[in-house]
Amino acid sequence: LMIEHLDQINRLQSHTDPGQPLVQLTVDEIEAAMEEPLNYAEERTDIIAPHFVFFVEDQVEKMCGAGMFESPNDLPCDSILTQGGLRITTTIDLGLQEIGERIVEENISATEERYGGHNGSIVAIRPATGEILTYVGSRDYDRDDIQGKVDIAISLQSHGSTMKPFTYLTAFEQGWVPSTQVRDEPLFLETGQGRQQVNNWNFSHLGTITARKALSESINTVAVRTLLEVGGNNMRDMAHRLGITDLQTGDCGPTITLGACETKQLDMVFAYSVFANNGVMKGRPTSEELPDGYRELDPVSVLKIEDAQGNVIYQFSTPEERQVVDPAYAYMVTDVLSKDAITWSRLTLDRPAASKTGTSEDFRDGVLLGFTPDLTVGVWMGNADNTAMAPGTFSSAGSGPMWRQFMLEAHSYLQLPPKDFEVPDSIETVKCGAKTEVFKEGREPTKPSCRPGRNPDASPTPTPKPPVFPTRILTTPTPTPTPMPTPTPTPAPDEPQESPIIFFYTVKIGDTMESIAQKFAVSVSAILVLNDRAANDQLNAGEVLKIPISVFD
């Protein structure tokens, strides 16, 4: 437009020096200016831990509405933050927050090109009090390219197989034990989309195994069978007792235990802190409007509120407690997650710890939830717009290293010595071959286990007749697989150790060896060798190929 109206521009006169031209431009000068690069000033939000700050603002309004403190000058609760002159002291540990932010940025930036996950979050809670110590809602609040303003910690996300402990806890309450015999075999569900199979991560089955092995190695068919037997509503009620505020409708079907229904990361971390406390929830009275049967306490984010005159109008001192599940049953879950699951995923720490992996369908969410007696931490990796990550991005590859690094640094920073999980008085141990198994004292198992119960002649868990569920059902969430160890060079210090795993890919119409190799960033020859195939072999839709994929432990 300047070139088009150049004559008019050059006839403009200066207001300070009448009769003189305001500017004299040429076409060459304008075109040269157009070629100069533009340097945009980055807009930054000058707030420390912005997602947590906005979360606390919301919590203070809700606490006011619930009558937990008197609003200054009788201000409406939705105006106290802007007009109340409040000084709010929160639970966040800024040193630990900085550690969390750094770990998310370092790990995501190092792996995003490979895995296609551009965002991450970390939430840490002190189980003994329910206090939120770390709240990293996203990798970077100010990055619009990753939708950084989305607060993952309170956004609904699939948490994959980290939902399974709620199912097995329900089973333990009904008389199961970790050594209960269960069946891992093909399972089909009738859905609104027809008959669909529930697949394990490696499309194979182990036959008769224990509930301990099924939970620790995240076997899908057993989890769904267990859910069908103990009852989906009972499992949801259990999740609500432990702190989950969603799952309010029953439209997910039996694959709710695989992450078919979405939950909040903060709720999941709060729920896992109940395991760390042997079934005790600790926090402050809830300010959420929840139905009966849901949690009665919330995580703690505010320690003190003062008005404009410095008067203390709210003070958190001692957490309230609720024994929401029997200590023995909560400990059974902890025993499995701390002795078997964390070893299976190769995320052990320098101290007793428990963990559970979770990978949602199509690798959209990678989740790691775990705890020690002193700290409960949840890590998420993925994309805020729900874009899938690269095939084979299991949670042990993406979220696992972040969780392990944060746990190690956090316990060191907080100067917490290693501590064993407390064994409830009601737990008794029994020698089962070379292993020791746990039971609740005075209660015989209701199903076959290493110690026969009241029904010793019963067969292992049968396949219940599956009901018909709505079309929202998900049938193939993929949990973290067991990495197959192979000799690898000793890694450099502080670098993640690589080990190859095998991913099983179902061939689709139009696939070629070249397109599959390109999809997984491997060579055609590697696929051919692993599957004992020749280059000119025909591919058929529906057949399963082994794909070599290298992941970080």
- The contacts of residue 318 (CB under 8 Å, 6+ apart) are none
Which has the higher per-residue pLDDT, 202 or 113?
A: 113
Round to whole Å and give the CA distance between 111 and 100.
17
Round to whole Å and give the CA distance between 311 and 72.
10
Nearest Cα to Cα of residue 460 among 203, 179, 271, 256: 179
DSSP state letters, 141-184: TT-GGGTTTS-GGGSEEE-GGGGHHHHHHHHHHTT--TT-EEEE
Which has the higher per-residue pLDDT, 52 or 433?
A: 52
**Distance between first and last Cα of the chain:** 58
**In the prediction, which pLDDT does 459 show?**
46
Round to whole Å and give the CA distance between 450 and 529.
42
The reported pTM is 0.77
SS3 sequence of 185-222: CCEEEEECCEEEEECCCCCCCCEEEEHHHHHHCCCHHH
Residue 24 has pLDDT above 60, yes or no: yes
Instruction: Compute the 3-state secondary structure of the chain and give helix, strand, coil in percent, each to the nearest 5.
Output: 35, 20, 45
Lowest-pLDDT range of 8-12, 40-44, 198-202, 536-540: 40-44
The model's pLDDT over 111-167, given as tens digits with 9 standing for 90+, comes to 999 999 999 999 999 999 999 999 999 999 999 999 999 999 999 999 999 999 999
Band (pLDDT 50/70/90 cuts) for residue 481 is very low
SS3 sequence of 83-109: HCCCEEEECCCHHHHHHHHHHHHHHHH
Is residue 148 left, alpha or beta, with left meaning phi > 0 and alpha meaning psi from -120 to 50? Answer: alpha
In the block, which residue shows the tokens 């501590």?
419
The model's pLDDT over 440-451, given as tens digits with 9 standing for 90+, comes to 999 999 999 887
In the block, which residue shows the tokens 């912005």?
50
In the block, which residue shows the tokens 């529930």?
198
The model's pLDDT over 398-412, given as tens digits with 9 standing for 90+, comes to 899 999 999 999 999
The model's pLDDT over 502-547, given as tens digits with 9 standing for 90+, comes to 566 777 777 888 888 877 777 888 788 777 788 788 888 767 777 7
User: H helices within 231-326, ranges in order?
Assistant: 232-242, 265-276
**In the prediction, which pLDDT does 214 show?**
96
Residue 386 has pLDDT above 50, yes or no: yes
Cβ(120)–Cβ(379) below 8 Å = yes
103 phi, psi to nearest 5 deg? -65, -40
Cβ(96)–Cβ(134) below 8 Å = yes
Band (pLDDT 50/70/90 cuts) for residue 298 is very high
In the block, which residue shows the tokens 């286990």?
449
Residue 473 has pLDDT above 80, yes or no: no
Lowest-pLDDT range of 103-112, 217-226, 392-401: 392-401
The model's pLDDT over 308-321, given as tens digits with 9 standing for 90+, comes to 999 999 999 999 99
33 phi, psi to nearest 5 deg? -65, -35
Band (pLDDT 50/70/90 cuts) for residue 453 is low
- The contacts of residue 216 (CB under 8 Å, 6+ apart) are 336, 337, 340, 341, 343, 344
Percent of the chain scored above 90 by pLDDT?
68
Cβ(381)–Cβ(397) below 8 Å = no
**In the prediction, which pLDDT does 491 show?**
34
Q: Which tokens hold the place of 393?
A: 């991005």
Sign of CA dihedral 40, 46, 52, 53: negative
